[in-house]
Amino acid sequence: MEKVSIKNVTTQLLDIPIKRPHQFSAVKVSSKSFVLIKIELSNGVIGIGEGTTPGIFWNGESVETMKLVIDQYASPLLLDQDPVHTEALLQKLNRQIRGNYFAKATIEMALFDALGKMYNVPVHQLLGSLYTDKIPVRWALASGTPEGDIEEAKGHVASGNYENFKTKSGKEAPENDAIRSIKIAEGIKGHSKLGIDPNGSWDRLTTMKWMDTFFETGIDFLEQPLPPADVEGMARLAAMKKVPIMADESASTIEDAMRLAKENAADIFSLKIHKAGGMKNTIKVAGIAQASGISCFGGTSLESSIGTAACIHAYASIPNLDYGSELFGPDWLADDLVKEPLTSKGGYVHVPGKPGLGVELDEEKVSTYLRKEK
């Protein structure tokens, strides 16, 4: 086989509207931004990937910083290199570019898509094969009011779209947030299960105060209630043995996972391929969790079908994904970037079987949502 090299790397910024405003702890959004990357090989194969993040508040990266890092610093390190040596290329990026895990995950995604197309296999075969061919999906309630969230949850259950949910917290004071979350849980009790995600905005005392009530209400899990650096506080909450504690922002890197496991600071890891620096690192984090008796949850950065496909390939290879996923990004967006968007069916997403990521870019949609230069 003729030796293949990376011929070109390009990026574009895109903004896609969403179906309804989404309330995070720090910001409310009505559209979602992406950086689209294309890696062209010398044999004509083009791999695609996308970078996205809940916002710069989440970990310090944004689509604008990702584009800058890829264009000015990563691309020169990739050009003319052999894409087959993906691991060596990623280690090279790690040595010369500190942090910027979201940008690196975007690059890895496109490399694996290109390799899958080149070898005519889906990405999960490059990652070590499947554990399952479908993953349960949990919908995030973020309408902004308890009544709206309850109504939305019951509607999804009635239609058969989703069975279980989580709610975003952090906009209000921790005490009010806790009361609000309990109201939602009580409103859907008997219909479905609810997890709470404060995005690291609560404090130890308030969280500990409400743990008994969370347990009695049947809260499924408490995701990142404390600031990411407060690992000791997370360990104290986990030691209460009331509601399972899920680490998200605290569990980004492989090193984070090791620390949390050693300090018994989480019952569940929320996985995200962008925060870990890619699909391979995500699988490594899940391996640390499995060895430590920790369950996993397939988190989302609210990707389009491109990033969602990458998540599915990685998550479906993980045996301890006990809490399912929240891969509802394509259903949450008002439009998508591929010709056949991925959607959940009966509360599950299915693993794409076509080569690479298994999705085909729609260039007309890319043109429609391309960010206009100001």
In the annotation, is 168 catalytic?
Answer: yes
CA atoms in the 13 A half-sphere facing the CB of 57: 13
SS3 212: helix
CB 169 within 8 A of CB 198: yes
> Helix 305-315 vs helix 279-291: angle between axes, to the nearest 10 degrees?
40
Report DSSP letters for 179-209, one per residue.
HHHHHHHHHHTTT--EEEE-TT---HHHHHH
In the annotation, is 2 catalytic?
Answer: no
CA distance 6 to 345: 37
Quick one: which of 306, 262, 307, 265 has its CA closest to 282? 307
Which of 163, 166, 326, 365 is the catalytic position? 326
CB 261 within 8 A of CB 234: no
SS3 64: helix
Which of 117, 166, 168, 171 is the catalytic position? 168
CB 265 within 8 A of CB 235: yes
CA distance 188 to 40: 49
Q: Which residues are catalytic?
A: 168, 326
